[in-house]
Amino acid sequence: MALLTILCYPDPRLHTVAEPVAQVDDSLRTLIDDMIETMYDSNGVGLAATQVNVHQRLVVIDVSETRDQPMTLINPEIEWASDESHTNEEGCLSVPGVYDQVERADLIRIKALDRNGKSFKLEAEGMLSVCIQHEMDHLMGKVFVEYLSPLKRNRIRTKLLKSQRESIR
């Protein structure tokens, strides 16, 4: 097992569009296990491969209280999303210390492959629904701050660039 480095906004690599996973094999499962370990180590509820600079359609999620129910989504596709939506406070491991409101569909139905390459469908609501939509945005190269106003986004960019410069020294 190994901890992976999480890219930090405004790193341009966070805007890379991921390619579909071609083969679910042992090397992919090693990456999945490292992503799960990294997600738990950072106290995140989800992690997209994009955030660890791997540009493949792969996501890990655990919204359980007990942090022992990791879920893997490979090549996830949204089959249906409700017209009803709500705003929720979101954060992101790639945008440390920033939390803001984002509007998301309430209910989604998705299709994906599990870690054994088996196809499954899932209907999600609540935190799981929000998290899946947030992670699937990462796979499209989109970070949640892109839903905020340009003014807020620029303030966030400046603040994070400054803290990254200070932490290197």
Interaction between residue 135 and ligand GNR (CB under 6 A):
yes
Pairwise CA distance, residues 120 & 3, whole Å: 28
Among 14, 24, 32, 92, binds ligand GNR (CB under 6 A): 92
Interaction between residue 93 and ligand GNR (CB under 6 A):
yes
| 77 a catalytic residue | no
For residues 85, 98, 138, 9, the Cα torsion angle rounded to the nearest 10 degrees is 150
Q: Which of residues 27-56 bind ligand GNR (CB under 6 A)?
A: 44-48, 51
Q: Which of 77, 123, 135, 146 is catalytic?
A: 135
Query: Which of the choices ligand GNR, Ni ion, none does residue 130 contact, using the CB cut-off of 5 to 8 A by kind?
Result: ligand GNR
For residues 130, 126, 89, 38, the Cα torsion angle rounded to the nearest 10 degrees is -60
Least Å distance between CB 30 and ligand GNR?
A: 20
Least Å distance between CB 133 and ligand GNR?
A: 8
Interaction between residue 130 and Ni ion (CB under 5 A):
no
Interaction between residue 160 and Ni ion (CB under 5 A):
no
Core vs surface per residue 64-90: b (16+ CB within 10 A) or e = eeeeeebbbbbbbeeeebeeeeeebeb
Query: Which of the choices ligand GNR, Ni ion, none does residue 90 contact, using the CB cut-off of 5 to 8 A by kind?
Result: ligand GNR
Q: Which residue has the tokens 């493949």?
A: 56
Pairwise CA distance, residues 121 & 133, whole Å: 15
Q: Which residue has the tokens 């935190």?
A: 127
> Which are the catalytic amino acids?
135
Applying CB under 6 A, the residues found at the interface with ligand GNR are 44-48, 51, 90-94, 130-131, 134-135, 138
